[in-house]
A = this chain, B = another copy of it.
């Protein structure tokens, strides 16, 4: 008789239902691939009475977490509740009870991944979270598999669907931030408090996860230089288009000489860059490897079935590992001491939008400040804003972050000028 692998699911929302649906529909293929008959045994719900989307055939519902966490027959726990607590507590209990865990919870993994991974390894359990970054794109496993035969140098990602949807609308329909935010909220893409999305926090969490996998380093969320999209003005969109760029909210993690720099912020991408064409709520992760070169992985960033597909892929890997006797390697066991790249070693071109008094000498003053910091200008666009002020947009030459910050600190001392936008510019 074929071995059984029984699954408990914490949470019966759309993703949980999708997982059940896919496991049923692909039962035969999964058994062929893994040698296990994988089935759902128990699902944790908040309310037993509520009508459920799928018939609860072959499994039972419970409101008692211990019905899953203490059931010795269940060897895989799927966490699709979201939020930190009690998800964290349940995952820890499951791992300590020797159960493998698959989660779609990016907040949990970004904030407590280090702790959970350690507990998983100590208990020789798998802990997988493919669905936590870029929902339907198998990016985490691709990075981990790719790593075996290559050295990753840089990971760039459009990893927040809400802001990408908003930026796409701002660009193609020439609308402003407030207007498209309202539409995103009406469509249910953005929360009524959109902070996590629009301020880049969600993207920063995903970059923490990607950095851990690609470079084996644990970066604190606080150490991710994070800027959101609130400050992007229609004027920025126009100028970017004139200069043949597209503005996207991009997370970047780059390793250099054993240290890593992680940031999230609006970035000007050349319009022929593969990421420039990633529109609407889609996600993409662009990976630079020493041997494989530049590859990109594109797809839906969220959604019930794409996310559930990734969860099921993780369950299949748990099943394979169980056959192989290789459980407990988490996604990878590749680990380095975390070292942050100093600002003197982070290089980029920058886009700056500066508002200044429209008086003779102000622009001269500005150029002097940048020249003294060693920051050269590649492109300059100036135009009057009203009778008294003018907007200057400059694109700098490649400069270190330290030099740029030095110049900007000096600009702050000048009451007649103000830096209103500072975005990285990627060259093709």
A residues with a Cβ closer than 8 A to B are: 18, 22, 26, 29-30, 32-33, 136-138, 141-142, 145-150, 272-274, 276-279, 282, 289-300, 303, 305-306, 308-310, 312-313, 316, 320, 323-324, 326, 333-334
Contact B32 A149 (CB under 8 A): no
Q: Which residues of B contact A320 (CB under 8 A)?
A: 324
Whole-angstrom CA separation of A142 from B18 in the bound complex: 21
**A420 nearest CB across to chain B (Å):** 29
A277-B274, A316-B148 given; A294·B300 CB < 8 A: yes
Contact A148 B299 (CB under 8 A): no
The one of B29, B272, B289, B290 in contact with A277, judged by C-beta atoms closer than 8 angstroms, is B272
Please indicate which of the listed interface residues A148, A150, A296, A312 has the most CB atoms of chain B within 10 Å of its own CB.
A148
Whole-angstrom CA separation of A396 from B156 in the bound complex: 40
Whole-angstrom CA separation of A323 from B150 in the bound complex: 22
Contact B276 A272 (CB under 8 A): no
Q: Which residues of B contact A296 (CB under 8 A)?
A: 296-299
Q: Which residues of B contact A324 (CB under 8 A)?
A: 320, 323-324
In the complex formed, the residue of B with least CB distance to A313 is B149
| Copy count, this protein chain | 2
Q: Which residues of B contact A30 (CB under 8 A)?
A: 148-149
Q: Which residues of B contact A299 (CB under 8 A)?
A: 292-296
Contact B323 A309 (CB under 8 A): no
Contact A149 B26 (CB under 8 A): yes
Whole-angstrom CA separation of A149 from B21 in the bound complex: 10
Whole-angstrom CA separation of A354 from B79 in the bound complex: 59
- Closest 6 pairs between A and B when the two form their complex, measured CB to CB: A295-B299, A277-B277, A149-B312, A296-B298, A291-B305, A136-B292
In the complex formed, the residue of B with least CB distance to A283 is B295
Contact B277 A306 (CB under 8 A): no
Q: Which residues of B contact A289 (CB under 8 A)?
A: 309
A293-B136, A295-B299, A299-B292 given; A148·B306 CB < 8 A: no
Whole-angstrom CA separation of A300 from B316 in the bound complex: 29
In the complex formed, the residue of B with least CB distance to A316 is B148
Whole-angstrom CA separation of A29 from B316 in the bound complex: 23
Q: Which residues of B contact A32 (CB under 8 A)?
A: 333
Give 16 A-B contacts (CB < 8 Å), ordered by A residue.
A22-B291, A26-B148, A136-B295, A138-B142, A141-B145, A148-B312, A148-B316, A149-B309, A272-B279, A274-B282, A292-B306, A294-B300, A295-B297, A323-B324, A323-B326, A324-B324
Contact A138 B145 (CB under 8 A): yes
Contact B274 A316 (CB under 8 A): no
The one of B33, B274, B295 in contact with A148, judged by C-beta atoms closer than 8 angstroms, is B33
Whole-angstrom CA separation of A290 from B26 in the bound complex: 12
The one of B18, B148, B279, B294 in contact with A29, judged by C-beta atoms closer than 8 angstroms, is B148
Q: Which residues of B contact A141 (CB under 8 A)?
A: 145
